[in-house]
Every structure is written in C-alpha cells, then in structure tokens.
Amino acid sequence: MSLTGKQVLQLVSDDFEDLELWYPVLRLREEGAVVHIAGEEKNKTYTGKYGVPITSDHSFHEVDADEYDAILVPGGWSPDKLRRYDSILTLIKEMDQSKKPIGQICHAGWVLISAKILDGVNVTSTPGIKDDMENAGAKWFDEPVVVDGHIISSRRPPDLPDYMREFIGVLQKK
C-alpha cells in the first residue's frame, strides 16, 4: 500500500471515457490512496460513454486544492465540458503552482490547455488533439506516457498500465 495517506481528486462529468476514469481510481485505491470524485454537483451519478456510472463525492465548486495530493482528469468528451468551469481551471492552476501531480489522458489535455499551464511542457494525448496541445505551447510526443515533472500524460486506454505506473511513481515522491 504505497500510497497510504495520499488523497487524490478525480474530476468527472458525463461522457467520460469509462476505463480512463475507473482504471486510475481502482489502481490508486489498491495502493491505499483515498480517491474522491468531484463533479458539478455533489452526490450526482454521472454516466460514461459506455454506460458505466459513478457518483460524485463532492462538487468541484467546493473542493480545495490544499486538501489533495494529486488530481486526475479523465478523457472522453468530459474534458470539453470540464474546461468550461472557472472553478476547475482555478483548481488545475493551483495544483500546478504547488507542483502536485496532475494526470491527464486522451482528451483531458483540453482542460490543461484552458488552464494555460502547458507552455513548454512535454506531453502526449490522443493524436486528435495534438495540434491543440502544440498550439498551447506544449511539446507533443506519440508515446504511451510522458512525464514532465508533476504532469503525467497518456494517450488512450491501452496505455493505462504505463500511465498509472508513472502517476503512482510521481505521487509516491510527493
């Protein structure tokens, strides 16, 4: 249980990529971390692209970055919704300023782009948003996972084992 005592925030909205949300949550809990789910509304059930539900523990409007050791942004179509909330962008910026691990997979890069934290950062994502990532100033690589300090990025569900191995490794050092 290498992450006992760590608290991680997983963001959610409807149309998240089911595996990109659930796999990290389960892996982190296996390692002893406490993982809270934050959506627009507290105690609301959100549904993934393939129909797998998850219920939020908190509203992302009420969470405090100081209470968490890391944050995860799932992929799917969820990031296009999440990036529209100032409270999410503020949360991501605060986590970035504190150099706390920020995990992003697939389309999750959209949230980091909107938070304006990718200038000069090495990343990966789904190839579909490569241009968006580069236009935000990031250096994009077609790799299963890219770690640049506290920002851990990955492309898609088949890369989840590599993504979580690296995310857990970065979180253990914090």
pLDDT of residue 82: 98
| DSSP codes, 59-102 | ETTT--GGG-SEEEE--BTHHHHHTT-HHHHHHHHHHHHTT--E
Which phi and psi (to 5°) does residue 123 adopt? -145, 170
What is the C-alpha separation between 94 and 74, in angstroms, rounded? Answer: 18
Supply the pLDDT for residue 49.
96
| Mean pLDDT of each 10-residue bin along the chain, 174 residues long | 95 98 98 98 98 97 97 97 97 98 98 98 98 98 98 98 98 94
pLDDT on residue 43: 98
Angle, vertex CA 138, rays to CA 134 and CA 144, nearest 5: 95
Q: φ and ψ at 27, to 5 degrees?
A: -60, -45
pLDDT, residue 9, reads 98
CA atoms of 53 and 34, how far apart (whole Å): 19
Which pLDDT score is estimated for 1? 78
CA-CA distances (angstroms) from residue 82 to 15, 78, 89, 122, 133? 11, 6, 9, 22, 17
Domains and CATH numbers, the chain: 5-170 (3.40.50.880)
pLDDT of residue 18: 98
Q: So what's the pLDDT on residue 17?
A: 98
**Rg (alpha carbons) of the chain, rounded to whole number:** 14
Q: Helices 18-30 and 160-172, interaxial angle, to 10°?
A: 40
With b for 16 or more beta-carbon neighbours within 10 A and e for fewer, the 85-110 pattern comes to beebbebbebbbeeebbbbbbbbbbb
By annotation, the residues acting in catalysis are 107
Give the model confidence (pLDDT) of 110-154 as tens digits.
999 999 999 999 999 999 999 999 999 999 999 999 999 999 999
pTM score of the predicted model: 0.97
Instruction: Show the tokens assigned to 17.
Output: 């990529």
